[in-house]
């Protein structure tokens, strides 16, 4: 490997080291200097979490070979405030609550600092433009931009530093702008996520993943990989001492593929080695013989008789079917003046939290198997792992590291078991950090759904019956599918009082990437269908979309179709607020006046454009053209 | 993951050429390196090990720019951010700030070079259409015995197809030269899946010079990218507009022609729709940049009713 002598100044201190010249500046900063405030969110220059100053210019350190920074002055997030008071930008991020999961925040603070250094008077639009290279998945950016504007005004002296002070909780925490206790650790880059943690004598794990959607594993030969210098262990399903299987509702997923693979990206074997490079090279020395099996990718086809069976216990490929019946839908449709039937489809979605999966496992002095990871469900994981590794519960410990974005995607114990097994086999700490690509290919997604919606209505808009049939692709393993089907069934008809309903939600096994928990947990799919359907029905009946909802909405004391009594229902207030703030013109969805009052007004957003920085400097506006 | 046996950072062109000539097969020459690192990842090239990487960013002869005799000579190490921040470059290359602001993001523009963008020869390269429109040429250096020899190629002869150029083994791009367009209005249009950090589906650039009153087009340059294997100069449309009185009708009329040029293998229908609007928008935005905007035909909102 290329040896390179580096001399640089990092956060005001001289650094002189020999290193590999191809190493990314990001790796050098994190691994050699232990400055882990600079994060890796994607490794491909897309997310901005790795932004650092090199000779005063902000760059993405995942795109810079370290040799380029030889002789340069480097400034990282840790260098902004040093050990002193946080900078106005950092304090403003704290003030507005701009840091939520915090993983994008060091990069955001760096980009904001750069923007204000380049143009201390930058307008809100220009700030947005200059922060365009950084992604956040929690905030929706509003609080971040708000923070940068406060910082700009404080730095310019237009407002006093009291603008950075907390507002205080007052009498109640509800409705007041209460500061987050964890924000200083996030805006300063001091908070360590699992991938930032190191332990003495730590090994690095890499995972061999399936290239096939469905195949029988004929054999796995790990001998060549195990013989490599620097490789400490290779683990497969054969290393599981207890009862293998995890999942949120049904424990159908082995720690690593056992006998067969069911989706592209499924873990088959894992290597723990002295460094990541060796572990990656060892993966190519593991020889797996497969016998490909017919695979199925569509849930409707998976339910047909004779379809390939994905799990032996479920010969019909159904993970869970939730039926709900209320009243008499036949009677309800007979009473209807209008019956509308449509099919709605939603797609698979990746959570794309900025922190890819990561964890460290070790076996402590009392033989307690310990796993540190950003798990969203450590107690459940602890119980499952105890069974899998055949240990009493007091010999298994889970420590939850800061979660750099979860959104449901870190509820599943997809890699913690592998780490535990490797730690048990080597008696050394083992760390695994997913790449972004690995995170996307192998972790659970939002359930795609196909919903057939049949609704009967009277001419005055009153709904007489709903038939709701949802088929959802659960992917290769059960994970949260059952819960998602339950929630979708519960929320299927929206907040509307309907006398006759027939609901079926069906989660189905396929050879697609498993579906799991994702924000709303099945509600979004159902609401998309319900609310789209109501708009279509309103149009057919010539009714205002707000009106049709008010006619059917639940009121205080209503019972849902699952017999839950609702003490108070705020839907009317919500509808009024939406109607007012959108500037809605009363009328059916297809009846609009000559000028749309709901477009272009206050509270609406301009279409995306770029070039705010020129408008400031030249006084010219491209918008003059339009 | 990208690894290599040797990472060289030559200081002079001669040194770089010697290293490049003697580099083992499979070695790579890099400038910004913003493309090669994401390339060496899962889903693209996977883990890549190179015998040598030769990084030219410290080569003094490749830095900076010079304006002389109506031409601008941009050293191969000029990065996209310079087109936004350098007043002289903004004056002489008035379409480049708009091109740059749509290119990647503020961080990547600090590293990514125009020369690197052109030599990658992506059909969707943002940097190539403006250089085409400005009668760009590529300067290539090679070793001849002990001395350095240079040849120059028009950019349309240099870029030959997706990933294919006229670059010969042992050659290094030393500069991109183009016409000084001082006094022109410039524009750049781009559509992709999001605002920052996106590869163009289609991009277009225009440069216009009007008479002092803004009534007549003295000169116009048009080029478009993302519609086929290589970016194209729209010379026939330029001819239809040059020396003509500016009118919305004329611009709309000539903008109807480019969709026929769309030869992309994917999303062809979509690109045809985009191209029509783009040529028109590029001309109108360049006129606005020149200080002579055409009055809108209709209030904007009315068009969407």
> pLDDT of B241-288, one tens digit each?
999 999 999 999 998 888 888 888 788 888 888 888 889 999 999 999
CB atoms within 10 A of CB A351: 21
Has residue A601 got a pLDDT over 50? yes
Q: Which domains does chain A have, with CATH numbers?
A: 3-169+178-187 (3.10.20.30), 203-293+352-439 (3.90.1170.50)
The packing angle between helices A481-490 and A523-541, to 10°, is 30
For A492-518, the pLDDT digits (tens) are 999 999 999 999 999 999 999 999 999
Tell me, yes or no, whether B19 and B90 share the same domain: no
How does residue B301 score in pLDDT terms, banded at 50, 70 and 90? very low
* Radius of gyration over every alpha carbon of chain A, rounded to an integer in angstroms: 28
Give the nearest chain B residue to A591 (CA atoms). B305
Phi and psi for B113 in degrees, rounded to 5? -100, 150
What local confidence, expressed as pLDDT, does residue A3 receive? 78
| pLDDT tens-place string over residues A480-498 | 999 999 999 999 999 999 9
A65/B111 CB distance under 8 A: no
A440-454, A608-622, B279-293: the lowest-pLDDT one: A608-622
- Mean pLDDT for the stretch of residues A380-385: 97
How deeply is A180 buried, as exposed, middle or buried, from its count of CB atoms within 10 A (0-12, 13-18, 19+)? middle
pLDDT at A616: 64
Q: How far apart are CA A175 and CA B197, in angstroms?
A: 37
Residue-averaged pLDDT of chain B: 93
Poorest-pLDDT segment among A189-203, B218-232, B251-265: B251-265
How many CB pairs lie under 8 A apart between chains A and B? 151
Q: What is the pLDDT of residue A618?
A: 59
Question: Nearest CB to B41: which of A2, A437, A441?
Answer: A437
> Which pLDDT band, with edges at 50, 70 and 90, does A593 fall under?
low
Per-residue pLDDT at B217 exceeds 80: yes
For B79, the domain range is: 60-179
- DSSP string computed for A275-332: SHHHHHHHHTT-EEEEEE------HHHHTSTTPPPSBTTBTT-EEEEEEEEES-HHHH
pLDDT value at residue B303: 44
**A195: pLDDT confidence band, cut at 50, 70 and 90?**
very high
Same domain, B281 and B223: yes
Tell me the C-alpha distance between A83 and A78, whole Å: 8
Do the chains contact at B42 and A438, CB–CB below 8 Å?
yes
Containing B79, the helix (H) or strand (E) segment is none
Is a pLDDT exceeding 80 seen at residue A599? no
Find chain A residues with C-beta within 8 A of B53's C-beta. Answer: 2, 21-22, 65
Looking at chain B, the whole-number percentage of residues with pLDDT higher than 90 is 82
Residue by residue, DSSP assigns A578-607 as: HHHHTTPPSS-TT---SS-TTSSSTTPPPP
**Would you state the pLDDT for residue A61?**
98
For CA atoms A607, A610, A615, A621, give the dihedral sign: negative
Residues B72, B38 share a domain: no
pLDDT of B300 higher than 60: no
Task: Tell me how close the Cα of A227 comes to any Cα of chain B, in angstroms.
Answer: 21
Is the model's pLDDT at A594 over the cut of 70? no
For residues B173 and B233, membership in a common domain is answered with no
In 3D, which of A196, A193, A192, A189 has the Cα closest to residue A99? A189
Does position B127 have pLDDT exceeding 70, yes or no? yes
In this structure, are B160 and B211 located in the same domain? no
Look at residue A176 in the predicted model and tell me its pLDDT: 81
Looking at the structure, tell me whether residues B10 and B80 fall in a common domain.
no
Q: Chain-wide mean pLDDT for chain A?
A: 94
Distance in Å, alpha carbon of A444 to nearest chain B alpha carbon: 19
Region B101-125: mean pLDDT is 96
Kindly state whether residue B303 falls inside one of the protein's structural domains: no
Confidence of residue B152 (pLDDT cuts 50, 70, 90): very high
- DSSP 8-state assignment for residue B43: T
Domains identified in chain B, total number? 3
Question: A168 pLDDT exceeds 90?
Answer: no
> Quick one: pLDDT at residue A40?
98
CA distance A132 to A135: 8
- What pLDDT is stored for residue A531 in this prediction? 97
CATH number at residue B210: 3.30.390.50
Residue A621 has pLDDT above 50, yes or no: no
**Measured CA distances, B223 to A261, A417, B134 (Å):** 50, 56, 9
The stretch A214-223 carries a mean pLDDT of: 98
What is d(CA A297, CA A442) in angstroms, rounded to the nearest whole number? 16
pTM above 0.90, yes or no: yes
Distance from CA of B294 to the nearest CA of A (A): 7
| B123, part of any domain | yes
Nearest to B187 by CA among B94, B85, B91, B90: B94
Q: List the single range of A163-177, A574-588, B57-71, B120-134 with lowest mean pLDDT.
A: A163-177
Coil, strand or helix: which one is A335?
A: helix
Cβ-nearest to A625 among B110, B197, B285: B285
Q: Which of B4, B55, B108 sits opposite A68 (nearest CB)?
A: B55
Contact B195 A610 (CB under 8 A): yes
Is the pLDDT at A106 greater than 60? The verdict is yes
Would you say A226 and A286 are in contact if contact means Cβ atoms under 8 Å apart?
Answer: no
Report the share of chain A in percent with pLDDT over 70: 97
CATH of the domain at B42: 3.30.43
Digit-coded pLDDT (tens) for A307-356: 999 999 999 999 999 999 999 999 999 999 999 999 999 999 999 999 99
User: Residue A55's pLDDT is what?
Assistant: 98
CATH number for the domain harbouring residue B96: 3.30.465.10
What residues of B are in contact with residue A21 (Cβ under 8 Å)? 4, 6-7, 53
Same domain flag for B118 and B200:
no
Please give the order of strands across the beta sheet that includes A318-326.
A318-326, A501-509, A463-475, A449-457, A338-346
Task: Please report which confidence band the pLDDT of residue B223 belongs to, taking 50, 70 and 90 as the band edges.
Answer: very high
> Are residues B198 and B276 part of one domain?
yes
B302, part of any domain: no
Predicted local distance difference test score (pLDDT) of residue B296 = 67
pLDDT at A622: 43
Find, in chain B, the residue whose alpha carbon is nearest to that of A3.
B6
Give the up-direction half-sphere exposure of residue B24: CA atoms within 13 A in the CB hemisphere.
10
Structural Rg of chain B based on CA atoms: 20
């Amino acid at each position: 490997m290329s040896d390179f002598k580096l001399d640089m100044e990092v956060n005001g201190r001289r650094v002189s080291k020999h290193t590999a010249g191809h190493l990314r500046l990001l790796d050098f900063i994190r691994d050699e200097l232990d400055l882990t405030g600079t994060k890796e969110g994607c490794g491909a220059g897309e997310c901005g979490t790795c932004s650092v100053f090199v000779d005063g210019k902000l760059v993405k350190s995942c795109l810079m070979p370290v040799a380029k920074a030889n002789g340069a002055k480097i400034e990282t997030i840790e260098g902004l405030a040093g050990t002193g008071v946080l900078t106005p930008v950092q304090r403003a991020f704290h003030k507005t609550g701009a840091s939520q999961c915090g993983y994008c925040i060091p990069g955001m603070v760096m980009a904001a600092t750069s923007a204000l250094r380049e143009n201390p008077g930058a307008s809100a639009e220009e700030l947005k433009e200059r922060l365009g290279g950084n992604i956040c998945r929690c905030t929706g950016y509003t609080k971040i931009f708000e923070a940068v504007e406060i910082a700009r005004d404080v730095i310019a002296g237009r407002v006093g530093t009291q603008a950075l002070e907390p507002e205080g909780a007052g009498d109640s925490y509800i409705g007041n702008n209460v500061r987050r206790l964890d924000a200083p650790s996030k805006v300063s880059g001091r908070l360590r996520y699992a991938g930032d943690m190191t332990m003495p004598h730590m090994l690095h794990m890499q995972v061999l993943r399936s290239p096939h959607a469905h195949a029988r594993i004929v054999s796995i030969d790990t001998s060549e990989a195990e013989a490599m210098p620097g490789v400490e262990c290779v683990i497969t399903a054969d290393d599981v001492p207890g009862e293998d299987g995890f999942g949120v509702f049904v424990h159908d997923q082995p720690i690593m593929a056992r006998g067969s693979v069911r989706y592209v990206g499924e873990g088959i074997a894992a290597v723990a080695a002295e460094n990541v490079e060796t572990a990656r090279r060892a993966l190519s020395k593991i020889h797996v013989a497969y016998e490909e099996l017919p695979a199925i990718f569509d849930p409707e086809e998976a339910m047909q008789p004779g379809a390939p069976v994905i799990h032996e216990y479920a010969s019909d490929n159904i993970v869970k079917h939730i039926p709900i019946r209320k009243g008499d839908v036949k009677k309800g449709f007979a009473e209807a003046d209008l019956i509308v039937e449509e099919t709605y489809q939603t797609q698979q979605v990746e959570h794309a939290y900025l922190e890819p999966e990561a964890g460290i496992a070790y076996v402590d002095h009392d033989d307690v198997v310990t796993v540190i990871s950003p798990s969203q469900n450590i107690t459940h994981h602890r119980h499952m792992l105890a069974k899998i590794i055949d240990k009493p519960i007091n010999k298994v410990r889970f420590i939850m590291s800061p979660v750099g974005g979860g959104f449901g995607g870190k509820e599943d114990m997809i890699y913690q078991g592998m780490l535990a097994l490797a730690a048990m086999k080597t008696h050394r700490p083992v760390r695994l950090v997913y790449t972004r690509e690995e995170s996307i290919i192998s972790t659970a997604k939002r359930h795609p759904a196909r919903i057939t919606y049949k609704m009967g209505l009277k001419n005055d808009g009153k709904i007489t019956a709903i038939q709701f049939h949802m088929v959802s692709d659960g992917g290769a393993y059960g994970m949260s599918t059952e819960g998602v089907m339950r929630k979708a069934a519960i929320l299927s008809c929206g907040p509307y009082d309907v006398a006759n309903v027939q609901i079926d939600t069906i989660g189905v096994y396929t050879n697609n990437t498993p579906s799991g928990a994702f924000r709303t947990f099945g509600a979004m799919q159902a609401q998309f269908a319900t609310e789209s359907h109501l708009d279509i029905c309103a149009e057919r009946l010539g009714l205002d979309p707000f009106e049709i909802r008010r006619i059917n909405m639940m009121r205080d004391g209503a019972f849902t179709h699952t017999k839950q009594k609702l003490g108070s229902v705020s839907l009317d207030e919500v509808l009024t607020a939406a109607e007012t703030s959108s500037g809605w013109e009363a009328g059916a969805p297809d009846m609009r006046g000559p000028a749309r009052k709901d477009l272009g007004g206050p509270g609406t957003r301009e279409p995306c454009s770029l070039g705010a920085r020129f408008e400031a400097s030249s006084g010219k506006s491209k918008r003059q053209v339009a | 993951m990208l690894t290599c046996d040797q990472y060289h950072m030559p200081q002079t062109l001669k040194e770089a050429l010697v290293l490049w000539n003697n580099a083992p097969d499979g070695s790579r020459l890099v400038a910004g390196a913003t493309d090669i690192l994401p390339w060496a990842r899962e889903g693209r090239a996977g883990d890549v090990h190179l015998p040598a990487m030769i990084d030219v960013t410290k080569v003094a002869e490749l830095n900076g720019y010079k304006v002389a005799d109506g031409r601008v000579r941009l050293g191969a190490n000029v990065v996209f951010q310079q087109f936004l921040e350098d007043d002289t470059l903004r004056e002489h290359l008035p379409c480049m700030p708009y091109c740059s602001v749509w290119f990647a993001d503020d961080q990547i523009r600090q590293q990514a070079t125009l020369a690197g963008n052109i030599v990658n020869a992506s059909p969707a390269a943002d940097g190539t259409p403006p250089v085409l429109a400005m009668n760009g040429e590529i300067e290539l250096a090679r070793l001849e015995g002990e001395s350095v020899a240079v040849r120059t190629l028009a950019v349309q002869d240099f870029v030959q197809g997706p990933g294919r150029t006229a670059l010969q083994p042992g050659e290094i791009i030393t500069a991109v030269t183009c016409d000084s367009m001082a006094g022109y209005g410039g524009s750049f249009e781009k559509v992709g899946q999001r605002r920052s950090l996106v590869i163009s589906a289609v991009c277009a650039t225009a440069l216009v010079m009007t008479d002092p009153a803004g009534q007549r087009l003295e000169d116009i340059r048009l080029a478009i990218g993302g519609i086929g294997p290589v970016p194209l100069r729209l010379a026939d449309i330029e001819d239809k507009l040059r020396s003509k009185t500016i009118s919305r009708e004329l611009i709309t009329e000539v903008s109807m022609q480019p969709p026929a040029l769309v030869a992309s293998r994917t999303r062809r229908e979509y690109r045809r729709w985009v191209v029509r609007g783009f040529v028109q928008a590029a001309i109108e935005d360049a006129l606005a940049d020149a200080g002579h905007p055409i009055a809108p035909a209709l209030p904007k909102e009315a068009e969407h009713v």
